[in-house]
Amino acid sequence: MPELPEVETTMSALQPFVEKKIVSVDIKNRNLRWKIEKDFENNISNKKIISITRRAKYIIFNMLDGFIILHLGMSGNIRIQDLKSNIYKKHDHIIFYLKDKKIIYNDIRRFGSIHFTHDLKDHFLIKNLGPEPLSKDFNKKYLFDISRKSKTNIKNFIMNQKVVVGVGNIYASEALFHAGINPNRTTNSISEDDCKRLVKSIKNILKVAIKMGGTTLKDFYSVDGSEGYFKIKLKVYGRENKKCRSCKGVISKIVLNQRSTFYCDNCQK
């Protein structure tokens, strides 16, 4: 699944289309995770894109009188084509026509979604989200205070979008490794010093991943078709039974909340 760095990479690649007008949109398949609203086309046709931003894992197209909310889901990706190009792929579900380009949304599994809203902050996908991990609001005190009553494991806790947004499975495993915290530890057992290390680790991991274009697994490619390169930096994720890169231990794999979780027993207490 594309995580925050991949979404940030996609959002950044779309910046040349700010101040461009969406002339029209062709919806080939309305049946994504949520069915696309019947008035979606009318709401965005002949409307200028004022800015393109990100909130959590959502790409936001800010229009003059509303917002397009796009989520890539498990396998969604966006590509750009010249307007005259007639090359299409299976699972191309939405085509935005601009003056000289096409923005195409492709999603094999159809777990992504796209919505139009006049009120972004009150939209059901946005209104209950936690702070951005790279913001000042996500800090040691915040994480420590909010963790006191939770008895879930710490990995599941930091993946909860109501706690902090955008920390998906890959980066949760990596951040916990760098912070020296076992993913199976009960959240309310985490100390204030643990929170300080974990917040710093999450911020550092995400910054490096964004800089390197995200992590390529099976489905993610950036808008220009290039792969992410953060995978060469992974310390634990996907490295079951391999030697730890920080000690002489071996990377273990367990399943927490139906998610593969990787860690080093020796480095993470």
- Show which residues are catalytic: 2-3, 57, 259
DSSP state of 75: T
Strand order in the sheet with 21-22: 21-22, 47-55, 58-63, 66-71, 113-117
* Distance of alpha carbon 66 from alpha carbon 60, whole angstroms: 10
Which amino acid belongs to residue 119? D
Kindly list the distances between the CA atom of residue 214 and the CA atoms of 69, 219, 247, 249, 264, in Å, as whole numbers in the listed order: 21, 12, 26, 27, 23
Of 182, 180, 183, 214, whose CA–CA distance to 200 is shortest? 180
Burial (0-12, 13-18, 19+ Cβ within 10 Å), 2? buried
* Distance of alpha carbon 20 from alpha carbon 95, whole angstroms: 15
* Distance of alpha carbon 215 from alpha carbon 103, whole angstroms: 22
The three-state (H, E, C) secondary structure of 96-130, written as one string: EECCCEEEEEEECCCCCEEEEECCCCCCCCCCCCC
The three-state (H, E, C) secondary structure of 206-261, written as one string: HHHHHHCCCCCCCCCCCCCCCCCCHHHHCCCCCCCCCECCCCCCEEEEEEECCEEE
